């Protein structure tokens, strides 16, 4: 049974109409012992891909192709990596992109399939001026959180703006170990970690809640805003 109604399919098809690049959804799963959420994720991806010929799903066996999983930093399943014309966009999903996060997936496909991050000139300048080291942005979400897609899409826009930024949406309830590791007590929770090449300890920033774009970007790249770097 389809997940999307006819009216929903029409809306999503219209949103994907702007896609001008080939978008590949690398779907990491496994043939035996996959969680139920992997089946949900596969159905979501297949239905979205069916709405635009430029979007395709490529299934990758997480068990048999560990090198490819390691290449993209996929540590569990279900996982999704978006490619644009075969190149990594550094946008990731860990967990089934269902509920409110379905629209985060659609927005990520649009970002991968077009030529602009959609960030404001001020945000672009902040990223250009401050992002000089590899930065990993992880946004914890739940399918029932209406505010989570804002944080996810902003993180993905940042990844599209800079090749040094990787942004991953993590479904918090599917991965309780990760949630405990990052001390997730509410969503959306964003954790940005900058790996310093000098060998110093990584710099980390935590943001709880969905902030406006300027505050979100500034907090992550300039360590400036309502949330200070964690220790």
Q: Residues 61-69: contacts with CB within 8 Å, 24+ apart?
A: 61/29, 61/30, 61/31, 62/28, 62/29, 62/30, 63/30, 63/31, 69/28
Q: Residue 231: what pLDDT?
A: 35
Q: What is the mean pLDDT of residues 16-41?
A: 96
Whether 6-113 shares its CATH topology with 121-221 is answered: yes
Identify the band that residue 226 occupies on the pLDDT scale cut at 50, 70 and 90: low
201: pLDDT strictly greater than 80: no
For the domain 121-221, what is the CATH superfamily, name and number? Glutaredoxin (3.40.30.10)
119: pLDDT strictly greater than 50: yes
**Residue keyed to tokens 């309780």:** 176
6: pLDDT strictly greater than 90: yes
199: pLDDT strictly greater than 80: no
- Residues 46-59 have pLDDT tens digits of 999 999 999 999 99
Where does the chain show beta strands of DSSP type E? 23-29, 55-61, 79-84, 87-94, 135-141, 165-171, 189-194, 203-208, 229-230
- Residues 139-181 have pLDDT tens digits of 999 999 999 999 999 999 999 999 999 999 999 999 999 999 9
Q: Residue 198: what pLDDT?
A: 63
Mean pLDDT (the chain) is: 93
The closest of 39, 53, 56, 32 to 3, measured between CA atoms, is: 39
Q: Which burial class, exposed, middle or buried, applies to 164 when counting CB atoms under 10 A from its CB (0-12, 13-18, 19+)?
A: middle
For CA atoms 77, 153, 148, 22, give the dihedral sign. negative
- Residues 56-105 have pLDDT tens digits of 999 999 999 999 999 999 999 999 999 999 999 999 999 999 999 999 99
CA 150 from chain center: how many Å?
11
Q: Residue 142: what pLDDT?
A: 97
Q: Residue 3: what pLDDT?
A: 85
Q: Is the Cβ–Cβ distance between 98 and 143 less than 8 Å? A: yes
Q: Residue 225: what pLDDT?
A: 56
Identify the band that residue 230 occupies on the pLDDT scale cut at 50, 70 and 90: very low
Q: Residue 229: what pLDDT?
A: 41
197: pLDDT strictly greater than 60: yes
Q: Residue 228: what pLDDT?
A: 45
Radius of gyration over alpha carbons of the chain, in Å? 17
- Locate the domains of the chain by residue range: 6-113, 121-221
Assess if CATH 3.40.50.2000 describes domain 6-113: no
Calpha distance 93→101 (Å, rounded): 10
The closest of 126, 123, 111, 116 to 55, measured between CA atoms, is: 111
Alpha-carbon distances, residue 157 vs 65, 79, 118, 127, 165 (angstroms): 28, 19, 7, 11, 10
């Amino acid at each position: 049974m389809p997940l999307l109604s006819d009216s929903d399919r029409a809306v999503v098809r219209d949103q994907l109409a702007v896609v001008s690049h080939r978008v590949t959804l690398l779907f990491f799963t496994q043939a035996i012992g996959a969680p139920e959420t992997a089946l949900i994720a596969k159905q979501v991806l297949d239905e979205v891909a069916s709405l635009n010929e430029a979007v395709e799903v490529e299934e990758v066996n997480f068990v048999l192709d560990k090198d490819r999983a390691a290449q993209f930093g996929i540590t569990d399943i279900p996982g999704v990596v978006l490619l644009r014309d075969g190149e990594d966009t550094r946008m990731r999903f860990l967990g089934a992109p269902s509920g409110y996060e379905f629209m985060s997936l659609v927005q990520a496909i649009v970002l991968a399939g077009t030529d602009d991050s959609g960030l404001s000139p001020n945000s672009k300048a902040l990223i250009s001026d401050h992002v000089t080291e590899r930065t990993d942005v992880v946004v914890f979400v739940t399918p029932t959180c209406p505010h989570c897609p804002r944080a996810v899409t902003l993180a993905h826009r940042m990844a599209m703006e800079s090749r040094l930024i990787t942004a991953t949406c993590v479904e918090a309830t599917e991965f309780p170990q990760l949630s405990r590791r990052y001390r997730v007590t509410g969503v959306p929770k964003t954790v940005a970690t900058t790996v310093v090449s000098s060998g110093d300890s990584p710099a980390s920033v935590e943001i709880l809640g969905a902030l406006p774009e300027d505050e979100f970007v500034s907090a992550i790249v300039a360590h400036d805003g309502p949330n200070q770097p964690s220790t």
